Amino acid sequence: MRIFLAEWRKLRRPTLFLGSMGAVIAVTALIVSLLFLLIDSDTGNAERGMRITREVLALSSGITIGFSNSAGLLGLVALCVFAAQTAQEYTYGTLRNLLVREPRRIRLLLGKYLAMSIFALISVIISAITSVALAFALSGTAKVETAAWQTAQARMDLIETFGNVLISTIGYGTIGMVLGLVLRSPISSISIGVGWLLVVESIVSIAWSPSADWMPGSLLGVVAAGGSPLGVSETLSYTEALMRVSALLLVAALATLFTFRRRDVAS
Amino acid sequence: MSAISVTGLTKRYGDLIAVNGATFEVPIGTICGFVGPNGSGKTTTIRMLLSLIEPTSGTGQILDEPISHPERYLAKVGAMIEGPAFYPALSGAENLRVLATLGGYPHSRVPELIDLVGLSGRGGDKYKTYSLGMKQRLGIAAALLPNPKLLILDEPTNGLDPAGIQEIRDLLSNLAKQGVTVFVSSHLLSEIEMISEYLVMLRKGEVIFFGKTIDLLHRSRPIIVARPASSSDLLKLKNLVDAAGHPATIDGDVLKVDAGDDWSADLNRLAFENNILLRQLTPVRPNLEETFFEMTEER
């Protein structure tokens, strides 16, 4: 609890907290606005030129589509925060202060991870509220029927999507934390993480399509979309994607934890 | 009981031996200076004591607990290693609150410590706006957070002006009077000499002295400085002194004679009998800096 509260003191500073939450609101608002305002566009209104029709949006699950589509960018925000908060302990030299006050290294990392996961949870809550509010606000302009959005089924869909987006966001954050611990530099870990997820995975997937079923970014996309066709992979089920990405992240996290526990702190 | 006790402490990085079989003890309740040239292994030793670096071999105890179990003693240890390190975007006080929260110390200590180290009125300012001296003071405040029984400070007076150095010296002396053991490394040997009762001296990763500072100073060779009224007598005087069995060297317009102060009268008589008038005759006991250079052969 002490470690969590100490980390939270760093995360709650206004420039970081308000800046990150502002980015979350902006990203969500952009995606939901494009979804509704470009509903009649021939070039599509969702990722990769996909077209989501009025009829699909009018379903009970329609209320969650904008939120679910924001998951990738929410994930990138989480990756940046987790990576920067972890790697900065090396660049500022503050890790030695932390380890003198809490020498149990695994416990220290788990406390930091918990605090950053709560930060991710708050960002997902804010994204969900923004996307739902904006969907209702824009439904009139886009002429989308909203009766199904107010049913019990819609609430169930929203809760399910919330869980999936949260898993995906924390997954991206875990990648950021692993990179931060391995590379020990915020700039390197963020640039390599974002570059991999946005560029390298896409190129590799285009060159060899089955690779998408094993790439962490693609797998997290499937999880965030609840395994629906809106996900990157069209062949992988939600459960398979969740299990694969969990296994990948668990192996990476355990290897990193083991290294961190043994590594000399000489900076 | 010793505050610090290490035996055969060694750290290797491949073929490089950073610390080689360090063995020393620091008695409880004393101020102990930790000196050695750059790269002699001081910071590596301190990091091993704080469990930031795992020793390759050797054992150690801090406050009677083994260094392999840092969780048993670190709550009673305050440390500043290789200068202050804080989050630039947080204020000085908030940086201390982060560490107080992590260590489970009362936040009421934060303003007290800010005042104690002379940062009154600046605690709310962001750390990145601090001068080097202010950062150093905040580092010392952070080290004092746990109300430590052992305080380990690496170059605590770096960046401080003379008044600041005096304040820190007084602070450390007061802490020692209250029973806190202070283990302090510094390149300002005059400072160490003034405040340290005990010394640990390192050279090339090896401990070359540990014990009372006064014992080290007594161990070093005293000299007599003689200045003839006429510099043309310098060589003549040197030859006379050499012949009397005391090696001497000419340094500018003075002769430095390798002899204790009890030979001063003999030297005076020797000069007088040979018609050499002396303008200065001063027995000198080397200070810590001279002893340090002599022992580490760094000059």
Burial of B214 (0-12, 13-18, 19+ CB in 10 A): exposed
Q: What does the mean pLDDT of chain B come to?
A: 88
At the topology level of CATH, where does B2-218 sit?
Rossmann fold (3.40.50)
Domain B221-296 architecture = 2-Layer Sandwich (3.30)
Average pLDDT for B67-81: 92
Is B53 near chain A, with CB under 8 Å?
yes
Tell whether A81 is within 8 A of chain B (Cβ): no
pLDDT value at residue A173: 93
The percent of residues above 90 in pLDDT, for chain B, comes to 40
Chain B: closest CA distance from residue A89 (Å):
9
Closest to A141 (Cα-Cα) out of A8, A60, A38: A38
Out of A88, A104, A265, whose CB is closest to B71?
A104
Q: Is the pLDDT of residue B158 over 90?
A: no
ipTM: 0.83
Per residue in B33-72, is it b (16+ CB within 10 Å) or e — as a string?
bbbbbeebbbbbbbbbbbbbbebeebebbbbebebeebee
The pLDDT of residue B290 is above 70: yes
Q: What percent of chain B has pLDDT over 70?
A: 99
| Residue in the block written with tokens 């970081």 | A16
The pLDDT of residue B261? 78
pLDDT digits (tens, 9 = 90+) for A147-203: 888 889 989 989 999 999 999 999 999 999 999 999 999 999 999 998 988 888 888
Residue B277, classed as helix, strand or coil, is coil
Question: Taking CB atoms and an 8 Å limit, are B71 and A103 in contact across chains?
Answer: yes
Find the CB nearest B101 among A9, A88, A93: A9
What distance in Å separates the CA atoms of residue B173 and residue B178, rounded to the nearest whole number? 9
Q: How far is A189 from chain B (nearest CA, A)?
A: 19
- Distance, in Å, from the CA atom of B21 to the CA atom of B58, rounded to the nearest integer, reads 7
pLDDT at A121: 95
Interface membership of A98 toward B (CB under 8 Å): yes
Burial class of residue B252, CB neighbours in 10 A (0-12, 13-18, 19+):
exposed
Non-local CB neighbours of A70 within 8 Å, separated by 6+ positions: A27, A28, A31, A32, A127, A131, A165
| A15 chain-B contacts, CB cut-off 8 A | 89
Q: Which residue of B has its CA nearest to A6?
A: B98
The answer to whether A10 contacts B79, with C-beta atoms less than 8 Å apart, is: no
In this predicted model, which residue has the larger pLDDT, A4 or B193?
A4
A209-218, B49-58, B117-126 — which is least confidently predicted?
Answer: A209-218
Q: Does B47 touch chain A (CB under 8 A)?
A: yes
More confident residue, A51 or A251: A251
Q: What is the pLDDT of residues A60-113, one digit of tens each?
A: 888 888 888 888 889 999 999 999 999 999 999 899 999 999 889 999 999 999
Of the ranges A125-134, B169-178, B244-253, which is most confident? A125-134
pLDDT value at residue B298:
53
- Using the Cβ of B68 and the Cβ atoms of chain A, whether some distance falls under 8 Å is answered with no
* pTM for this predicted structure: 0.83
A93 interfaces chain B, CB cutoff of 8 Å: yes
Per-residue pLDDT at A49: 64
Distance from CA of B43 to the nearest CA of A (A): 9
B-chain residues within 8 Å CB-CB of A10?
Answer: 87, 90, 98
* Chain A residues close to B87, C-beta within 8 Å: 10, 88, 92, 94
Helices B109-116 and B92-103, axial angle in degrees (round to 10): 130
How far does the CA of residue A93 sit from the closest CA of chain B (Å)? 5
- What is the secondary structure of B67-97 as a DSSP string? TT-GGGTGGGEEEE-SS----TTSBHHHHHH
Per-residue pLDDT tens over the stretch B8-30: 999 999 889 999 999 999 999 89
Question: Hey, which of A108-117, B131-140, B189-198, B228-237 has the most confident mean pLDDT?
Answer: A108-117
B86 touches chain A (CB under 8 A): yes
Shortest CA gap B177–chain A (Å):
25
**B162 or B298, which is more confident?**
B162
What is the model's pLDDT at position B299? 45
Chain A interface includes B79 (CB < 8 A): yes
pLDDT(A233) > 60: no
Confidence tier at B141 by pLDDT (50, 70, 90): very high
pLDDT band at A143 (very low <50, low <70, confident <90, very high): confident
Task: Note the pLDDT of residue A231.
Answer: 42
| Mean pLDDT confidence for A106-130 | 93
Mean pLDDT value across residues A7-16: 90
> Can you tell me the mean pLDDT for B58-70?
92
Contacts B86 to A, Cβ<8 Å:
92, 94, 97
What are the boundaries of each domain within chain B?
2-218, 221-296
Structure confidence at residue A234 as a pLDDT band (50, 70, 90): low
pLDDT digits (tens, 9 = 90+) for A248-262: 889 988 888 888 888
CB contact under 8 A, B87 and A265: no
Cβ distance of A10 and B90 shorter than 8 Å: yes
Overall average pLDDT of the A106-121 stretch: 93
Which residues from chain A sit within 8 angstroms of residue B101, using beta carbons? 2, 5-6, 9
Chain A touched by B265 (CB under 8 Å): no
Per CB-CB distance under 8 Å, the chain A contacts of B51 are: 99, 103
Query: What average pLDDT does the structure give for chain A?
Result: 86
pLDDT at A228: 55
Look up residue B30 and give its two tokens.
Answer: 């004393």
Interface of B with A in 151-180 (CB under 8 A): none
Query: Which residues, including other chains, have CB under 8 Å from residue B73's CB and lie 6 or more apart?
Result: B62, B63, B65, B150
- Residue A261's pLDDT is 85
Q: Which of A164-173, A225-234, B113-122 has the lowest mean pLDDT?
A: A225-234
Query: What percent of chain A is modeled with pLDDT above 70?
Result: 94
Query: Do the Cβ atoms of B85 and A13 come within 8 Å?
Result: no
